[in-house]
Amino acid sequence: MDERDNFDNPLPSDSLLPSDKRESHDEYQHPHQRRWYCRTLGLQYLLLAAAYLGLLITGGVMWWQKPCNCSNLSTCTSQDELFPSLSASNAVKYERRTFEVKIRNNPFAGNPRPELDQVWHELFEDIRIRVSSDDLSFYNVSSLPLADGSGYASELGVHHELHCLKKVRHWIFRDYYLQGETEEEMVEYKAHVHHCLELMRESIMCRADPSLTSFQWVPGDPPHLTAVAVGWHKCVNWESLLEWVRARRVKVFEPGVVGGRLDEK
C-alpha cells in the first residue's frame, strides 16, 4: 500500500484509544452539555409534531371547504361534477322537499285546457343557452357555434327530459293535440314517444331516488294496499337554476343565430 494513503486518511483521534476508553468516551460529557443535547432533541421532536399537526389541520380545512352546495343535506354534489360555467355560478342549490303528487287544483295535471297548456309552454321559454368550449370539453362533446362567435348552442338535460314528458303527455291526449296529423306524422310521433320513454327510464334509474315510500290500506270490499310517497327528496332549487339559464338564453331557432355547417353535429 502506498504510504501516502495513511497520511491522506488519518485515523480519528478516538480510534487510538483502547476499546473500553472509546465506549466510554461519548458518555464522558459535562452535565450541562447533556442537558443542552436533550433540550435540543426535544425541541426538534416538538417542531416535527407541530408540523404534522399543521398538515392534518390544513388537510381537514381543505376537505371541509371543498366546493359543494348541499344546503345542509347529508350528501351533496361536488362542484367538480358540474361543467365549468355552471360550477362557477353557484346556481345549483339543494333543498329537501316532499312530493305532493296532486291531480286536483294542479295547473300541470289533468285534461287539456288553456291554463294547463300555458304553464307547460312557460317551462320551455328561454331554455336554449350559450356555453363555452370548456363546458363542451367537460363532456367531450361538440355543438354548433353561435354565429356571433360568443359560444356554442346548448341546453340542460333537465329541459330535454321535460320536453320528452310533454311529448308523452301529448300522445296520451293525441285526439286533442295531434288532430290533423297524417298517418306518416303519427308514426314518426310514436317513434319519438318511444325514444322519450326510454330516456326517462334511463334518467330515473340513473338518479335512483332512495327516498322511502310507505303503504296504507284503502277502504273497500275488499280493502287494498296503496303506496304513498312520504319521504323527503333531495331537490335542486328550480328557481335558482332557471335564473342561471335565463341569463344565458339564446334564441337558437331565429335565423342567423346559429352558425356552422349542415354536416356539423
| CB neighbours of residue 244 within 10 Å | 17
Q: In angstroms, rounded to a whole number, what is the distance separating the alpha carbons of residues 219 and 215?
A: 13
SS3 of residue 91 by DSSP: coil
Helix axes 183-207, 157-172, angle to 10 degrees: 130
Q: In angstroms, rounded to a whole number, what is the distance separating the alpha carbons of residues 169 and 162?
A: 10
The per-residue pLDDT for 101 is: 86
What separation, in Å, do the N-terminal and C-terminal C-alpha atoms of the chain show?
83
Q: Which of 157, 237, 243, 245 is nearest to 204 (CA)?
A: 157
For the segment 238-257, the average pLDDT, to the nearest whole number, is 96
More confident of the two residues 108 and 30: 108
More confident of the two residues 50 and 36: 50
Half-sphere exposure in the Cβ direction for 70 (13 Å, CA): 11
pLDDT at 61 over 50: no
pLDDT at 62 over 60: no
As a whole-number percent, the residues of the chain with pLDDT over 70 amount to 69
Q: What is the pTM of this model?
A: 0.69
CB–CB of 152/130 below 8 Å?
yes
The per-residue pLDDT for 70 is: 52
For the segment 131-149, the average pLDDT, to the nearest whole number, is 97
SS3 of residue 129 by DSSP: strand
The per-residue pLDDT for 123 is: 95
Confidence of residue 80 (pLDDT cuts 50, 70, 90): confident
The secondary structure of residue 35, as a DSSP letter, is: H
Contacts of 133 (CB under 8 A, 6+ apart): 151, 152
Residues 40/42/48/51 CA torsion (nearest 10 deg): -90
